[in-house]
Amino acid sequence: MTKTQDIRDAVELELSYDPLVDMSDIAVKNINGEVALNGTVPSFPQYLEAAAAARRVSGVKSVHNHLEVVLPPGDYRDDATLTTMANNALTLNIAVPDGVEATAKNGNLTLTGTVSYGAERTAAEDTVAGLVGVRNLSDDIEISNDADPVDVTVYVQDALDRYALILDDSDVEVDTDGHTVTLSGHVRTWAEHDAVVDAAWMAVGVYDVRDNLYVTG
């Protein structure tokens, strides 16, 4: 059996193993660790979880999620209803600042507004991603605060040095241009990749993170 076949089979097994994913309509393709997911899933959380499951597999270097969310008839919500549901959920979450709003169109949610930190933007995404009726999510939230961008590199590098998932001999490089952080270098797993990106987003003064990391698998 080829390495390509091994990785594809392993991804399919992981999707079958994950109780949060119904893989009956998912097709997996793999070329040298570049995995593509095609087909349909019945909810947006399953769309996200399928990609996360694929990234857990050894040898996977990237995941191209081409899945389409096809809602069961009973899960459909019209634009007005879904917009109201999403905004109510945002209001009830203390981690999401006032002024963040959601608008729905054909099951596609768009988030707008301004927050001070990347973690607040992530909180807004997580708040609405699991709502019934969501087919896709676009985040147009802006980040703005008074932090000095000169200190951003130090903040991010210190965080990387603290994280247990990021080994001491990691060759991750952090470059900043104003409030934008660019991450480059190699990481061994997607867990390490996500830890690096999350660390960068949590730093005060970061408005954007450019992910140029390479997962060796």
**Which of the listed CATH numbers 3.40.50.800, 3.40.718.10, 3.10.129.10, 3.30.1340.30 matches domain 3-69?**
3.30.1340.30
CATH fold label, 73-143: Histidine-containing Protein; Chain: A; (3.30.1340)
Q: What is residue 169's predicted lDDT score, i.e. its pLDDT?
A: 63
Cβ–Cβ < 8 Å for 151, 136: no
Interatomic CA distance for residues 173 and 101, integer angstroms: 35
State the chain's mean pLDDT as an integer: 91
CA distances from 84 to 87, 109, 124 (A): 5, 11, 15
Structure tokens at 112: 């707008």
Residues facing 103 on adjacent strands: 110
Q: What is residue 1's predicted lDDT score, i.e. its pLDDT?
A: 41
Structure confidence by residue, pLDDT tens digits, 126-179? 999 999 999 999 999 999 887 777 778 888 888 888 887 777 667 888 888 888
Domain ranges across the chain? 3-69, 73-143, 149-215
Structure confidence by residue, pLDDT tens digits, 42-91? 999 999 999 999 999 989 999 999 999 999 999 999 999 999 999 999 99
Q: Which residues contact 126 (CB under 8 A, 6 or more apart)?
A: none
How many other CB atoms are found less than 10 A from the CB of residue 182? Answer: 15
Interatomic CA distance for residues 17 and 11, integer angstroms: 10
Does residue 204 have a pLDDT over 90? no
Class of domain 149-215: alpha beta
Does residue 2 have a pLDDT over 60? no
Cβ–Cβ < 8 Å for 106, 100: no
